[in-house]
Chains A and B, each alone.
Chain A
Amino acid sequence: MRKVKNKKLSYARYGYYFSIPFAVAFLLFTLYPIIYTVVIGFTDLKGLGMTNFHFLADDPFRNFKTVLTNPSFKQALSNTVVMWLLNFIPQILLALLLTAWFTDKRSKIAGQGFFKVIFYMPNIITAATIAILFNALFGYPMGPVNDILVSLHIVDKPVNLLINKSIARGIVIFIQTWMWYGYTMITLISGVLGISPEIFEAAEVDGANRTQTFWYVTLPNIKTILLFTLVTSLIGGLNMFDIPKLFLLGGPDNATLTTNVFIYNQAFSGSYLYNRAAAASMVMLVIIAILSGILFMILSDKDEAALRRQIRQQEKSFKRRQKEIELIEKAQAAEAEKAVNVVTEQSDAQINEEDAVEEVGTDAEK
């Protein structure tokens, strides 16, 4: 018994060994930079190539206050949130629809492989390239889009679409959706294919139609993957950089400025305000942490938590029952003892009485 336990322990230490590379790399390349960024947020570190800094003695939170009251930052934050939301909603709906279509065994869509390959393609193309490509496509006076609009007589002469704030933002949203729905679709499809086929067969046998199967069988089974998609997309969205940075450099008039472009511009251009960029980074980190925390609370492992609670309750009730049983046993034992005493005292009388009762009983039956 003891030997077995020792052996188990000796394997357990490999869990630590195998996690060491991850832990070391994490400490060096993520944790230390985060702490460093936090520290810089409280200092006067600015200027190209500067590494020396002094803490702000008069007002430690000056950088944070400056960032939070900065109109560009506020604009950037609202742009980021709006652009993420408006790209995520159509993206996930489109991906879900295509997933439902492609995984439905009853309609058997031919050419699925081809469509998947094409839909996913924009995602593997460098975002920087796509940003500049779209900038060229919407070029003024003579870009392909203007060419189409003029040929179709939608407009009389070329218009400079990119100076319109809403259009500029709309194009960024379109690019994001266009780049990512294929990825989301493939992730979701792989999730659906991971569901055991027996469940679908059972649903079919039970007479569920397509819509019912999708809502009651497919969706609940890909909850984890949906959560994964949501969280990764949220983080990706709040860190949007390549497209807005290279498409219109955050313009026109800050319409496509995202927080990440703001941070980059603060730290690596103009007067190299590392401290202010660090403060802005931390604000973003806090926002992301809060949002993902909420998301996980809502969606993450609700079943697992419920299961754990159930097990705990079962354990409790088991213990309670054992206690009860113990008590009952004690009580019974006590009673039995008493009874034995009583019985020995009154045994003779009782036997006589019982005989009498029996006689009465037989009489009554007659």
Chain B
Amino acid sequence: MLKNKENRNLRVLIYVVCVILAIISIAPFYIMFINSTRSTTEIQQHAIAFLPSGYMLNNLKILLGKSFNPAVGFGNSFIISIGSTALAVYFSSLTAYALVAYDWKLRQPFFSFIMCVMMIPAQVTTIGFYQMVYKIGMTNHLSMLILPAVASPTMVFFMRQYLQPTLSMEIVQSARIDGAKEFMIFNRIVLPIMKPAIATQAIFSFVSSWNNLFTPLVLLTDQKKYTMPIMVSLLRGDIYKTEYGCVYLGLAMTVLPLVVVYLILSKYIIAGVALGGVKG
């Protein structure tokens, strides 16, 4: 009886904390969406409102009349994120498979090496990277932001941790007996086994690539090549200084697609993460 009461109290506490956290998570975005429909004068009078107003199109006109171009930002961000995620996921799986399935001499040193370079953040190499890319005249090429994803040590580490207990060598052996080539075995048998891990890693990779500001900011100087985060940083500039509604609308335009896609995929995201954990 006492235990039940304790249980109920704990449950109430858990729900209260969770609801508060949920409100804190949503509130800033709610304010943003509402304010994106209000005029600058309305916002100046009262910066918080619960109901939207009707100035969205007006705000949009002012917003697009200046340097902010969401379509270009989205296009470029999309190309970079899709490209780098595909490369990172595929080649990290391949490298992880090499580390798990084959007994080669340099396997352990190579893995230790990956563990070490995992620590190297992209940012500390940026000066050298920028100079290198500048020298070969590729500063405004999106490929320079995509190709480095082939070597993603963190993801290799994660994939290996997943594959190590999951992969049964018997399957690989029987495929060999059936005459499958090693590369085929990887593509046809191992990749499907890794699907849950790939889904999780792909989501994280896509998100971090989409949201990356530092490297694109350094490499891209041409306005036509700007990614979404660079576009967003324009909203902080002086040209939008007094246009409050406009700034909120610009921010909302970058958030809305992300939220929609996220809510559609959220089940898969959470389930994918959970699945990845069960197996690993």
Chain A interface residues toward B at CB < 8 A: 8, 11-19, 21-26, 29-30, 32-40, 45, 49, 51, 98, 101, 106-107, 109, 111, 113-130, 132-137, 139, 142-144, 146-148, 178, 182, 186-187, 189-194, 224, 231-232, 235-236, 238-239, 241-242, 245-246, 260, 263-264, 267-268, 274, 277-278, 281-282, 284-285, 288-289, 292, 296
CB contacts (< 8 Å) of A32 on chain B: these are 128, 132
A30 engages B244 (CB within 8 Å): no
Select A246's contact among B48, B101, B182, B236, beta carbons within 8 Å. B236
Q: How far in angstroms is the closest Cβ of chain A from B72?
A: 15
CB contacts (< 8 Å) of A101 on chain B: these are 14
Bound state CA distance, A12 and B228, in angstroms? 44
Select A284's contact among B7, B25, B124, B149, beta carbons within 8 Å. B124
Known: A118-B22, A143-B47. A18 touches B125 (CB 8 A): no
Q: What are the 10 tightest A-B residue pairs by CB atom distance, in nearest-first order? A: A190-B277, A36-B128, A15-B102, A15-B104, A37-B128, A25-B150, A18-B98, A33-B128, A25-B151, A29-B148
B28 engages A137 (CB within 8 Å): yes
Known: A32-B132, A118-B22. A245 touches B213 (CB 8 A): yes
Select A119's contact among B21, B115, B148, B277, beta carbons within 8 Å. B21
- Chain B residue with Cβ nearest A114: B22
| CB pairs A–B below 8 angstroms (16 shown) | A12-B104, A12-B105, A15-B99, A25-B150, A30-B122, A37-B124, A117-B262, A120-B270, A126-B210, A144-B31, A189-B277, A190-B274, A190-B277, A193-B278, A242-B229, A292-B119
Chain B interface residues toward A at CB < 8 A: 7, 10-11, 14-15, 18, 21-22, 24-26, 28-29, 31-32, 35, 43-48, 91-92, 94-95, 97-99, 101-107, 110, 115, 117-132, 134-135, 147-151, 153-154, 156, 161, 182, 186, 200, 207, 210-211, 213-214, 217-218, 228-230, 232-233, 235-236, 244, 247-248, 251, 254-255, 258-259, 262-263, 266-267, 269-270, 273-274, 276-280
Known: A22-B150, A134-B28, A147-B48. A246 touches B233 (CB 8 A): yes
Bound state CA distance, A165 and B248, in angstroms? 25
CB contacts (< 8 Å) of A16 on chain B: these are 98, 104, 106
CB contacts (< 8 Å) of B244 on chain A: these are 136, 139
B255 engages A125 (CB within 8 Å): yes
Select B47's contact among A98, A147, A268, beta carbons within 8 Å. A147
B214 engages A22 (CB within 8 Å): no
Select A126's contact among B123, B131, B258, beta carbons within 8 Å. B258
Q: How far in angstroms is the closest Cβ of chain A from B5?
A: 13
| Contacts across chains A and B counted by CB atoms under 8 Å | 296
Majority-rule SS of A interface residues: helix
CB contacts (< 8 Å) of A139 on chain B: these are 47, 244
Known: A128-B233, A129-B254. A36 touches B115 (CB 8 A): no
A11 engages B236 (CB within 8 Å): no
Bound state CA distance, A121 and B26, in angstroms? 8
B229 engages A25 (CB within 8 Å): no
- Which of B11, B118, B123, B278 gathers the greatest number of chain A CB atoms within 10 Å? B123
Bound state CA distance, A193 and B261, in angstroms? 26
- Which of A26, A32, A292 gathers the greatest number of chain B CB atoms within 10 Å? A26
Bound state CA distance, A192 and B280, in angstroms? 10
B102 engages A29 (CB within 8 Å): no
Q: How far in angstroms is the closest Cβ of chain B from A129?
A: 5
CB contacts (< 8 Å) of B11 on chain A: these are 107, 109
CB contacts (< 8 Å) of B267 on chain A: these are 113
Bound state CA distance, A229 and B73, in angstroms? 31
B270 engages A274 (CB within 8 Å): no
B151 engages A193 (CB within 8 Å): no
B270 engages A117 (CB within 8 Å): yes
- Chain A residue with Cβ nearest B232: A128
B25 engages A118 (CB within 8 Å): yes
Select B135's contact among A24, A51, A281, beta carbons within 8 Å. A51
CB contacts (< 8 Å) of A123 on chain B: these are 207
Known: A134-B28, A285-B120, A292-B119. A22 touches B270 (CB 8 A): no
